[in-house]
Amino acid sequence: MKPLPIPLRPAVLVLLIACGDSTETSATNSSAALASEADPSTSTASSIPTTTAPTTSDGTATGGSGGASATTTVGVGDSGTTSDETSTTSTAGASASSTTSAGASASASSTTSVGDSASASSTTSAGDSDSTSSTTSAGDSADASSGTTGDDGLDEAIYVHAGYGLDVNPGTRKLPKLTIQAGIDTAVTQEVAKVYIAEGTYVVDAQNNQFVTLADGVSLFGGFKATDWDIRLPASYPSVLVSNSVSGGSAPSPRRALDGGLGVGSDTVVDGMTIRAGGGMGSISAAVVVKKSAPTFVGNIIEGIADPSYNAYAVFLVDAAPTFEDNKIRAGKASMYSIGMLLSTQSGAQLAGNTIESGQSDYQSIALYIDGASAPHVAGNTIRGGTGKSSLGFRIQDSAPKVYNNVIDGGSGSDNATGLGLIDSAPSIAGNTIVTAMSAANIGISMNAFSAPQIDGNLITAAATCLALQGPLIEVESLRNNDLTCLTALRYDGKEYSDLATIEAILKAQSTVVGNNVQLKPSFLNAPGGDYHLKGASANFCGLTHGGLDLSMLFTTDRDSVARTPPWSIGAFEFDGPCK
């Protein structure tokens, strides 16, 4: 396989954690950590429903129209062995029903079998306007024009076009493939490392367990202008992969649009795509599922279902070590659980620079949920809970992630909202800004059942309670240089405390390393708009911008990749200007 050039993105240090060896059934057990009570901060974990969701009648796919008059009912490419260890049968490249000649003229029609259909129209979602943009032209990381051997020769990439492509085509610029899976399969056969995908909508028949499956060493680059392969701008020319599922799926195996394959390495990149889940009432769905693989996702929009499903995920990871950088990840609507990203069963993902949000749920919404001895590195993200009876920005169970320089928002649950909830976990929590709405039931950091966190240099504000110790044998390892500005700074053993000297004395008696915490109400540039950079109008400004703890043994930059300089600022954003 030819080496893949690294996409143009800000450099991020990643440490890929080796995958474990658990089976798929273990995903059911390790996914069983969602609270069953309305208040997630006081309940112990119970199960995500693991039975197959109710199934409706057969939801077969119909192809979208593409190009001027081209009509397609599109076939499946050979998706190979998926992360669920199932295989699908290919018809790509040998469709007996194709009636079009090479080149697919405007009035031609072709008919193949079920798979990822294509529509030439450029489809955007409500979130596309603020999408992470990746602007690429000839010669940059996606290398849109390099290596071309001629219009009729095979290029250094395989090309896919929703309007005039055909899967019987060789996959050149002039004669592109129609489906993404056919592009991947041809790239594997031809030992080509890249698949370029033109703007348009590509529908996969997830209802019949067909979806795009990654192959090791073959990367996907979306966002090419339909009329000019030398122009790449995903925000303006979205390549949209959509699942058509309307029912079914289970907790260990949701319906999906894209599957991470088996044994896929970090040099396999998905860049500049919009990936959407399908679903429907009673279904369990995700946009992306990765199991036992470690691909890299950069600059994508990954969205859950717009219509309500039972459990709605945007990203579902099991025993996987992928990298997610600069993506916009949004969960869908759900009657039970709306989860932006789930990591379970020893997943060692690297998450940097993403916006991760949960959606609307009738019961509980969680933006980021880490469970099952997973140890990811979560740095420089915006993590925002959604709406529902109960909402959480970030839940950690039975895991020990590194959580640095994030903005964590608990969301707007009608009964309660929690910024960060811990159950039987020992994370390192440093340099974060953690906020929730001011409500009597809202909590900044909730600790339950044998948790032993390190909490240093965080700005925790707006919540009714900054810290809640709500279970036996909770041992806070350290509590240093935090800003604890809430109605109650600590709730412990049924009592509430706001005096810092009293709080530090209580924790010191438990062998907690404690000191230099403050209670200074911050002023933010635009908190209603989600901008939590500190501004200098507050009388407390100097205490916040100069009151942090030097944690350079853990990290050296802030949420914006700005260098941390002594004296460090408290929270996710460094401020080096003069005090006022």
Angle (CA) 485 486 487, round 5°: 135
Asked whether the beta carbons of 455 and 489 are under 8 A apart, the reply is: no
Containing H/E element for 180? helix 180-190
Give the mean pLDDT of 389-416.
94
Sequence letter at residue 412:
S
CB < 8 Å & 24+ apart, contacts of 463-469? 463/410, 463/419, 463/434, 463/435, 463/436, 463/438, 463/487, 464/438, 464/439, 464/440, 464/488, 465/489, 465/490, 465/491, 465/496, 466/490, 467/443, 467/491, 468/41, 468/443, 468/492, 469/493
Residue 92 pLDDT: 36
Residue 198 pLDDT: 98
Angle (CA) 188 191 194, round 5°: 80
Average pLDDT taken over every residue of the chain: 78
Residue 407 pLDDT: 98
More confident position, 547 or 118: 547
More confident position, 94 or 229: 229
Give the mean pLDDT of 348-357.
96
pTM: 0.78
Instruction: Indicate the range of 161-175, 302-316, 434-448, 455-469 predicted with least confidence.
Output: 302-316
Q: For residue 146, is it left (φ>0), alpha (ψ between -120 and 50) or beta?
A: beta
pLDDT digits (tens, 9 = 90+) for 535-554: 876 678 889 999 999 999 99
pLDDT band at 106 (very low <50, low <70, confident <90, very high): very low
Rounded to whole angstroms, the maximal C-alpha distance in the chain is: 81
pLDDT band at 124 (very low <50, low <70, confident <90, very high): very low
> Strands, E, within 18-91: which ranges?
34-35, 45-46, 65-66, 70-73
Percent of the chain whose predicted confidence (pLDDT) is above 70: 71
Instruction: Indicate the range of 89-103, 221-235, 290-304, 432-446 predicted with least confidence.
Output: 89-103
pLDDT digits (tens, 9 = 90+) for 19-52: 333 333 333 333 333 433 333 333 333 333 322 3
Distance CA 419, CA 400 (A): 17
Containing H/E element for 190? helix 180-190
- Residue of 271, 241, 6 lying closest to 134 (CA atoms): 271
Instruction: Say yes or no to pLDDT of 375 above 60.
Output: yes
Residue 577 pLDDT: 78
pLDDT band at 111 (very low <50, low <70, confident <90, very high): very low
Supply 52's token pair: 């197959």
More confident position, 65 or 249: 249
Phi and psi torsions of 47, nearest 5°: -90, 145
pLDDT band at 280 (very low <50, low <70, confident <90, very high): low
